[in-house]
Amino acid sequence: MSKLLKIAVRNLLRYKRRTLLTTSLVMLGVVFVLVFVSLSGSFKAMMVAQITDSMIGHLQLHRKGYVASIDTLPQNLNMKSGAVKRLEKVLGELDIEATDRRLIEVWNKIDLLDANGRARLLNLVERQPTENRPVAVSALSGEGLDRLITAIEARLGESRLTLHLSLDPADGAGLSWLYRNSEVLSRAMGDDGRLAVTVRADADKAARVRAKFGG
């Protein structure tokens, strides 16, 4: 064995140019193989991501752990059983079901995404039904919080009634009561000398407003 090694070393050193050329070709071949493997893996991942994100069908089946491994998601949406039970307990105490319209799904930490990840995430958001569309935000940078506030206001407005009232301009106590018990949307003096006030309130308070002002 030692003789073979000596012969090999002697041949390598005897023809240095041939040895250098052979070594260079081998290294170049290894580099090309690594580049090809990397490119093919990237193309495959990109194709799978595009097909998955397109949501062509109504039902998608994935291998266990697939969704949790997507690095472009802002957070892991697969909650552990303990967290699910705690969430169900809190919602039960508030008399809120999982399909309750009062719930708004929020995707946080979008500031951690790069440009491609952000584009994929927003594409997923836009493909959701309008009535259940999640809101992508960043609590750290404040991005998307304006959309969240708008969504909350719109959701609250669904269960509230809008009333148009006519008040005596001298009824300061009544106007103050409205501000305390409802959301005053507008107030303007009418041609008849009465104060036109538009308010919004939930069903219970709307009934109290009607009983007090006859709206």
Is residue 121 within 8 A of residue 73, CB to CB? The reply is: yes
Q: Render pLDDT for 185-214 as a digit per residue (tens, 0 to 9).
A: 888 888 888 888 888 888 888 888 888 887
Our measurement of the distance from residue 57's CA atom to the centroid of its chain's CA atoms, rounded to an integer in Å, reads 21
For residues 3-32, average pLDDT:
82
pLDDT recorded at residue 51: 67
Query: Looking at residues 148-172, what average pLDDT do you find?
Result: 83
**Pairwise CA distance, residues 53 & 121, whole Å:** 9
DSSP string, 1-20: -HHHHHHHHHHHHHTHHHHH
CA 98 to chain centre: 18
Q: How confident is the model at residue 27 (pLDDT cuts 50, 70, 90)?
A: very high
The mean pLDDT of the chain is 78
Residue spans per domain, the chain: 2-43, 96-158, 160-213
Residue range 169-178, pLDDT digits in tens: 888 888 888 8
**Which regions of 41-192 does DSSP assign to beta strands (E)?**
106-107, 135-136, 160-167, 183-189
Torsion from C-alpha of 143, 145, 147, 152, nearest 10 degrees: 170
Question: Tokens 């260079």 map to which residue?
Answer: 24
Q: Which two tokens stand for residue 38?
A: 């990397």
Cα separations (Å) of 197 from 78, 176, 182, 212?
A: 48, 12, 11, 14
pLDDT band at 47 (very low <50, low <70, confident <90, very high): confident
Assigned token pair, 189: 């003096």
pLDDT given for residue 76 in this prediction? 45
Distance in angstroms (rounded) separating the CA atoms of residues 85 and 91: 10
